Copies of this chain bind each other. A is one copy, B any other.
């Protein structure tokens, strides 16, 4: 653990040393983390493998609500990075963590935060390698840099999609974006005709993404192009198409929607824009040649991930077209989420 800003008493270990020992050392199961007792971690990348690195963070009030359970804030922070790795076909190796804590988010918050993180360190076999803990008078923020590996040259790229490829997505689309609306406007549940289970499903999908780590090897074997969906299917597919120099046509009727999303959409058909552009899906988007589609489906079934074919890559460059059951092309006011 990078130990800037440390001790009140150095003799038997400082307050931060104790904090690291109690909360963070149990997460540092990678031998290269050196028990968090050095200034850097030491990673031997296995021969024949490339390192894949990514970083993403969450900020209070931006990516999570101040009253979200700390366990789930931790899971979200790690999982959005694991989702990036999964979309690249990479297996997790470990991660670096930076936490800025406010006065209110001190001991109790941190205990719950690290408990949630510990569960995911085990679940995804992604140990803590090192980190940095600071005080802030601003907002709580959590930044993670995740390291993964792929066999040399096998990273799944954004730029790999080819005209004629089938476009697939994992899981269901739009749940998290609807979940955010429910957090801000609980009355929407009634308007949309959701029962309790449907409401809970959407809220949960916003709080805890499901990175498709288990699918990484199958993606490497089958996908031409791929990425995870974090800013909404429409915007992220546009990025995949631009990087690959292809277009795409999506059949909206084939989109995998949860029962909750279907119910909401039936009550309020304009929600299709939220579903396609709202973001926070953390599902995998990939392009696959037709002859590999079955192999990918079978591999996905084996690891318990659903895969849906939703359209094709086309020769016509430009933004993807989303076509409804009547053959009409959908237009979006705001293709994907933006701060800028």
Contact = CB atoms under 8 A, between A and B. Distances in A.
Interface of A: 2-11, 13-16, 19, 34, 37-45, 47, 50-57, 59-63, 80, 84-85, 87-88, 90, 96-98, 100, 129-139, 141, 143, 145, 147-148, 152, 155, 157-159, 227-228, 230-231, 234-236, 238-239, 242-243, 279, 318-319, 334-340
Contacts of A7: 231, 235, 238, 335-336, 338
Contacts of A44: 50-51, 152
Contacts of A134: 57, 59, 62-63, 339
Contact of A42 (B47, B50, B145, B228): B50
A136 B59 contact: yes
A100 B141 contact: yes
A318 B19 CA distance: 21
B338 A8 contact: yes
A144 to B, nearest CB: 9
B6 A231 contact: yes
A7 B63 CA distance: 17
Q: Top 10 closest A-B pairs, CB basis?
A: A138-B138, A145-B145, A138-B139, A135-B339, A40-B54, A10-B238, A15-B340, A10-B335, A55-B96, A43-B51
A52 B44 CA distance: 9
B85 A4 contact: no
B135 A57 contact: no
A74 to B, nearest CB: 16
Contact of A155 (B42, B158, B230, B231): B42
A55 B6 contact: no
Contacts of A335: 7-10
B53 A227 contact: no
A2 B319 contact: no
Contacts of A34: 157
B38 A100 contact: no
B230 A4 contact: yes
A9 B96 CA distance: 33
Contacts of A318: 11
Contact of A5 (B10, B228, B339): B339
Nearest to A106: B340
9 contacts: A3-B231, A4-B279, A6-B340, A39-B84, A47-B47, A100-B141, A133-B340, A134-B339, A138-B141
Contacts of A228: 39
Contacts of A47: 47
